[in-house]
Structure 1
Amino acid sequence: MAIEKSSGMSAKPTIALVHGAFEDSHVWQGVEAKLKSDGYPVIAVELPGRPGAPMSPADVSLDLYRDTILKALAKTTHPAVLVGHSFGGITISAVAEAAPEKVKTLVYVAAYLPRDGDSLVSMAQQDPDAKIGPELQIKKEQGIAVVNYAARADLFANDGPPQLRAALPDKILDEPLAPLATPVHLTQARFGRVDKVYVHTSKDQVISPAFQAKMVAATPVRASFTLPTGHTPFLTDPAGLVKAIEAAAH
């Protein structure tokens, strides 16, 4: 039995967690710990331009994000499950286009699910129900986008407890501008053949539930899950998110 269990554990796919804009890899800590305790190998990718991977915003690009994830996946011997949050949906899509053989499943968590030529900017403009637009400050001279401090708790953790809402504004980062406006190139032959799952967030203020549904209608996925959360389920419902990720990984 012990040998059988051991081989079963090793058969679980690696799960690579890719954060979104205004975040770093620390957002995944609760999810990462639970996935590891359930026997999954986990990689929490830190994208360039964060405190943990400092870089001038002028040097940060969508291609660099893609290549950073591909470098992390180079250590895996079997296709991995890529989980992308928010803007991370565009990033993991670019990875699947570049190396579909490295990806078992793409899991979009409250994420942009792009089509060829889409960028975060172009997609956000199609989401009239999102609340983040008026709260974004574009600082072109510094090459960053900044979320209005006073709006951060309501945007990202509208469903969170008071303690989380109080702490969250200081954890939201300034975001390099260039990747947000860069169109992603996707083909049916590469990105199109990769398995996809979507995790909807029914109280989301950043990417509206209506727009999440519209994206999934345009790019069908194998399975959908819905969490009764705002934009950051890894903070407000980590157990529910882990359950969805593990179901997607099967």
Structure 2
Amino acid sequence: MKQVDGGARHCLSGPTMKIIKSMLIATATASVTAMGGGALAAGKPTIALVHGAFCDSHSWDAVAGALKADGYKVININLPGRPGAEGSLKDATLDGYRQTVLAALKDEKAPVVLVGHSFAGITISNVGEAAPEKIKTLVYVAALLPKDGDSLDKLAHEDPDAKIGPILKPDVANGIMGIDKAASVDVFLNDGPVQLRSVFPNLVIDEPLAPLATPVHLTAARFGKVDKAYIRTSKDLVISPYLQSAMLAATPVRLTQTIETGHLGMLTDPKGLAKAVEKAAQ
């Protein structure tokens, strides 16, 4: 992982954070001013956001702002091994991810809408299996939609159209999955604006290796009964439209929507993604 002043650099830090916030968050939350504030609306469910691989919870900041502007309570969850979160990269586990999400939801009195991006599709499915009573809807955003026994590693081998494989740099000795940060721009942000593409290598962080290969255990009696929705990304080069279609054929969901973005719709179209999440939450 890239080091800055002896510490791990997170997704949106220092000058990079200012650039991204000025580009995205201000745009996504502009409606707060027009509304006179983002007061919570009665009857709307809490929405909890879980980030995917190679990033942390800051990846959701612009979407979180748009949801809050529309009156939703938002919980933005940082998984273990990320800067500011508990634990080290090499000690992170899939069970630890599940427990972190459950801990974030423990004080919620009503079922929540749990949204997962990318690899977090595995994480939110694991939570749905463990505590289906806590979940109103699982929302998968360009995410892995697993069957029992699936892992990221297994599903990645079922995606012939994905372009991420050649740029991955596994470091087994240290329990880390690295990535070619310069090459990641064209894979993750193929639809991104020039300014965002120029700073994106500074946003990427290394990923704990073990959870990526850990199978998730799911049952029809628990995970199978949880309401699910999927938000597809039509230009995705990480989890391709081919794999998205295959996963949806194997595990049908109540609602499918499509946004016209690459893998990181929360950065390139945060307002559009927020609207899709809100529709799934209804």
Q: How does 1:1-250 map to 2 (within 5 A)?
A: 9-250=41-282
Instruction: Tell me, in whole angstroms, the C-alpha distance in 1 between the residues paired with 2:77 and 2:107.
Output: 13
Instruction: Tell me, in whole angstroms, the C-alpha distance in 1 between the residues paired with 2:86 and 2:54.
Output: 14
Deviates more, 1:150-159 or 1:92-101: 150-159
| Per-residue CA distance 1:13-71 (angstroms, 9 max, x = gap) | 00000000101000011000110111100000000001121522232100000000000
Instruction: Tell me, in whole angstroms, the C-alpha distance in 1 between the residues paired with 2:158 and 2:203.
Output: 27
Mind listing any 5+ residue stretches in structure 2 that lack a counterpart? 1-39
Mind listing any 5+ residue stretches in structure 1 that lack a counterpart? 1-7
Instruction: Tell me, in whole angstroms, the C-alpha distance in 1 between the residues paired with 2:241 and 2:251.
Output: 15
Give TM-score scaled by structure 2 length: 0.85
SS at match of 1:225: strand
Indicate if the aligned counterparts of 2:82 and 2:88 stay in contact, CA closer than 8 A: no
Instruction: Tell me, in whole angstroms, the C-alpha distance in 2 between the residues paired with 1:56 and 1:77.
Output: 31
- Letter of the 1:128 partner, please give it: P
SS at match of 2:90: helix
Instruction: Tell me, in whole angstroms, the C-alpha distance in 1 between the residues paired with 2:117 and 2:201.
Output: 18
- Letter of the 1:242 partner, please give it: A
CA RMSD of aligned residues (A): 1.2
Percentage of matched positions with identical amino acids: 63
Instruction: Tell me, in whole angstroms, the C-alpha distance in 1 between the residues paired with 2:67 and 2:181.
Output: 32
Shift of 1:151: 1.1
Q: How many residues align?
A: 244
